[in-house]
């Protein structure tokens, strides 16, 4: 659940009217509910209260410092996939020993940065990466904690672009070859083998794929322990889905009970990497209707937010609910809600019914807290939008809206022109 509700005809973020935020900050704008962030983190954390565990929030979902600080204050760690995400997390005050570093393409300088920062472990995604981390760690006189990301070949039954645990995925090492790689790692002087990692996909709406993956991991764990390797951590990744439309994902408590039952005798510290589940429904994107247009075959509502601000509909065909900031429209229409970007793929809503918005109406695109601003761009030389966090009856800007001069910051015309 979230804290975006109507009071009368007006949409509120916690105790603040959304229209008042837009009046102060402008549109488009991302708005996050701090209470929702806390509620979702605590729900996940409490689901595993009976076992040693750490919730390592997946920074890629929403990397704003205020969001990171909210989870860090609650005892959370982070899951990162770049040196930039590590920089952000450290700036927000994360304990380096609660940082896990995933991702298939870690550069040498990023590996050095992570080692010198003292992170908990790297989730190793390939045989060559194993060699590279060992070499880089030796070069700077460090020992690198590692887990091998195992690809268990489990179908998570989600969108193909966010499926990561099948044999054909670029992520991880096939489970049939993982034991051999643990043997190789054992012989590397600069590695400290700490655990096993697995992440099968995003926006999962069933518990059964997670359970299937754990069953496979347990067999691998037995083999690793037979090699005399003392494992400490089992990283089960993230992927638990949220409700965008009519999905019915399991509650964290139900997910937790299934995972705890399957892992209860392993004697391992559990790591989790939730992203969307914590932040997705904690944020909205608010835009303004600039024009309406009745085409020959379709109705269009043209807004000031585009695919550069919220890429998911154009990228995945994703659904975001649409709500008026003030409910005073007459009836509904069917059509598209589109942005100002010069691309036919620039839509936020396609072929759906929605309120009969008029010029000047404010429109809230719901469940936009995950993979919203983090995937935004300056395409068409559009400044990126402001971000705001609400707590109770107060709100603050947590990222300034970019100015036109920000668009050319760092650029220069060469001397020969």
The greatest distance separating any two alpha carbons of the chain, rounded to the nearest whole angstrom, comes to: 71
Select from 278, 230, 310 the least CA-distant residue to 27.
310
Q: Is the CB of residue 15 less than 8 Å from the CB of residue 393?
A: yes
Report CA 31 to chain centroid distance, whole Å. 16
Three-state SS for 78-109 is EEECCHHHHHHHHHCCCCHHHEEECCCCCCHH
> What tokens were used for 165?
């645990």
Residue 129 has a CB neighbour count (10 Å cut-off) of 21
Residues with active-site annotation = 342
Token match 């969001």: residue?
A: 67
DSSP state letters, 316-376: H-----EEESB----SEEEEEEE-SSSSTT-EEEEEEEEE---TT-EEEE-S-SSSSGGG-
Q: Indicate the burial class of 267 (C-beta count within 10 angstroms; 0-12, 13-18, 19 or more).
A: exposed
Q: Is the CB of residue 326 less than 8 Å from the CB of residue 11?
A: yes
């Amino acid at each position: 659940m979230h804290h975006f509700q109507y009071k009368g005809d007006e949409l509120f973020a916690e105790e603040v009217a959304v229209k008042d935020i837009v009046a102060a900050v402008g549109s488009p704008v991302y708005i996050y509910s701090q209470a929702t962030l806390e509620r979702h983190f605590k729900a996940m954390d409490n689901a595993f209260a009976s076992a040693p565990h750490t919730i390592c929030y997946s920074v890629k979902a929403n990397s704003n410092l205020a969001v990171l600080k909210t989870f860090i204050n609650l005892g959370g760690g982070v899951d990162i996939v770049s040196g930039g995400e590590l920089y952000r997390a450290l700036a927000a005050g994360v304990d380096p020993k609660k940082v896990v570093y995933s991702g298939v393409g870690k550069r040498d300088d990023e590996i050095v940065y992570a080692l010198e920062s003292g992170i908990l472990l790297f989730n190793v995604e390939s045989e060559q990466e194993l060699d590279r981390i060992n070499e880089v760690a030796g070069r700077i006189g460090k020992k690198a904690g590692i887990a091998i990301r195992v690809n268990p070949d489990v179908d998570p039954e989600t969108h193909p672009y966010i499926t990561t645990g099948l044999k054909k995925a670029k992520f991880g090492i096939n489970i049939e070859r993982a034991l051999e790689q643990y043997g190789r790692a054992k012989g590397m002087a600069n590695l400290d083998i700490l655990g096993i990692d697995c992440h099968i996909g995003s926006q999962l709406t069933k518990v059964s794929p997670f359970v299937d993956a754990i069953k496979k991991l347990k067999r691998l764990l037995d083999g690793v322990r037979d090699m005399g390797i003392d494992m400490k951590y089992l990283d089960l990744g993230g992927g638990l889905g949220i409700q965008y439309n009519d999905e019915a994902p399991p509650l964290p408590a139900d997910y937790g009970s299934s995972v705890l039952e399957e892992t209860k005798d392993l004697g391992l510290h559990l790591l989790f990497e939730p992203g969307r589940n914590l932040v997705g429904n904690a944020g909205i994107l608010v835009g303004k209707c600039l024009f309406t247009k009745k085409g020959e075959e379709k109705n269009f509502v043209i807004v000031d937010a585009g695919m550069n601000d919220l890429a998911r509909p154009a990228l995945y065909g994703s659904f975001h609910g649409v709500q008026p900031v003030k409910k005073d429209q007459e009836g509904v229409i069917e059509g598209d809600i589109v942005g100002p970007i010069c691309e036919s793929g620039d839509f936020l809503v396609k072929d759906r019914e929605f309120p009969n918005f008029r010029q000047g109406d404010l429109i809230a695109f719901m469940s936009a807290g995950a993979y919203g601003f983090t995937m935004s761009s300056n395409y068409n030389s559009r400044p990126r939008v402001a971000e705001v966090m609400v707590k109770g009856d107060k709100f603050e800007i947590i990222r300034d809206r970019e100015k036109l001069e920000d668009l050319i910051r760092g650029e220069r015309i060469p001397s020969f022109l």
